[in-house]
Chain A
Amino acid sequence: MFDALNVVDLDTMKVKKRLRLGFKPRAIQADYKRDLLIIGGWLNGNITSTDFQLSKKLHEPLPVARYMRNFAYDDENGILFCACLRGLYEINVEMLIRDNKNISRN
């Protein structure tokens, strides 16, 4: 029930797209420069990224730490900061995507 990402059209305030994630999301971060939507799993503590069309995943789920509550983002350098139960983590998103070469971005 709570494993979905809802996309709301801000002109109409209507849900225009909805997708099932398979995990309970909480933190979310948009990177407009890199066409990235980064989603954090509350219970599983994984980072997942997709493009803005929500059409493809950009890397394998990255386990960070459970109870992922909030994100902050350095969009200049592609660095994600995660507040999780066990502390504060820094993730190089550019490197993460580059490391997952088996997943095509095109």
Chain B
Amino acid sequence: MICRPKHSTPYDVIYLPEKKIVAASFKMQGNNILSFWDNSDANMIVAAGTSKKDHNELTYFPLGQQLPECLAWDPKTETLFITRVGFGDHAVTAVDFSRYPELKKKWEIQIGFEPNGLALNPDFSKLIVTGIEGLIATFNPLTGKELGGRKRIPLAAGVNTIDTYQERGSSNVYLAMVGKNIVEMNSDTGAIRYARVQFRRRSDIGCSGKQKSVPDGHNVRRLERC
């Protein structure tokens, strides 16, 4: 059994329903800053089949020095896209899952800004990479070639992107910004709207009570262990 190295921790996870696989980006915990927790062997994609016959089969795909983070899936070409953050150099990598469990790198591009989000438009013709400092760049998912000019999220909407979310099949991509805003970006047109989301307390669903243990342990399973 192959074991992932110590101080390798998952960042993003994605379910690929067409292949009944779950894939996760694992990165070294030192984040290119704490050298004692940095081991580039920890940077990898871990994939596991979820059907009963290959439930415990894990596939590891090493990715080198840059930290694998956000994931996006193109079911048409069976390609997984991964953003990768370096100490000054940043990349996007496309990995072919069509012959899973055999995985193969399709292309890799250096993008020149720190990515913090990844999305595809509904017909999978555009790969959108959002940057931590509000940059938006679009690439051809088949080749990695950049399409058109880069955009920047308006300063009024926020400066730093924390997280990106896209409902499958939807044109809209939502970005959580540092501060109080949520940005909506149309992945086909590039149109941007944003909402101010202030923090305050109003109601309670009562989940903060004393924690009880789960009656049975059989509904939680650790997928990978080392």
A contacts, CB < 8 Å to B: 1-4, 6, 8, 10, 13-15, 17-23, 39, 44, 46, 48, 50, 54-57, 60-64, 69-74, 76, 79, 81-93, 95-96, 99-100
Interface of A is mostly: strand
Residue contacts A-B, CB under 8 angstroms, 25 given: A2-B199, A3-B208, A8-B182, A13-B182, A18-B200, A19-B203, A21-B207, A44-B211, A55-B205, A60-B211, A63-B213, A70-B12, A70-B13, A72-B13, A74-B20, A79-B50, A81-B15, A85-B9, A86-B9, A87-B9, A87-B225, A88-B222, A88-B224, A90-B50, A99-B216
Q: Does B2 contact A (CB under 8 A)?
A: no
- In B6-26, which residues have CB < 8 Å from any A CB? 9-15, 17, 20, 22, 24
| Shortest beta-carbon distance from A17 to chain B in Å | 8
Query: Which listed residue (B17, B46, B184, B214) contacts A99, Cβ 8 A?
Result: B214
B contacts, CB < 8 Å to A: 9-15, 17, 20, 22, 24, 46, 48, 50, 172, 182, 184, 193-195, 197-209, 211-216, 218-225
Instruction: Compute how far the CA of A62 lies from the CA of B13 in the bound complex, rounded to whole angstroms.
Output: 19
The answer to whether residues A8 and B195 also contact, given A83-B13, A87-B224, A87-B225 and a CB cut-off of 8 A, is yes
Residues in B whose Cβ lies below 8 Å from that of A90: 22, 50, 220-223
The answer to whether residues A83 and B10 also contact, given A64-B220, A88-B224, A89-B220 and a CB cut-off of 8 A, is yes
Q: Which 6 A-B pairs have the closest CB atoms?
A: A22-B208, A83-B10, A13-B195, A72-B15, A83-B13, A95-B219
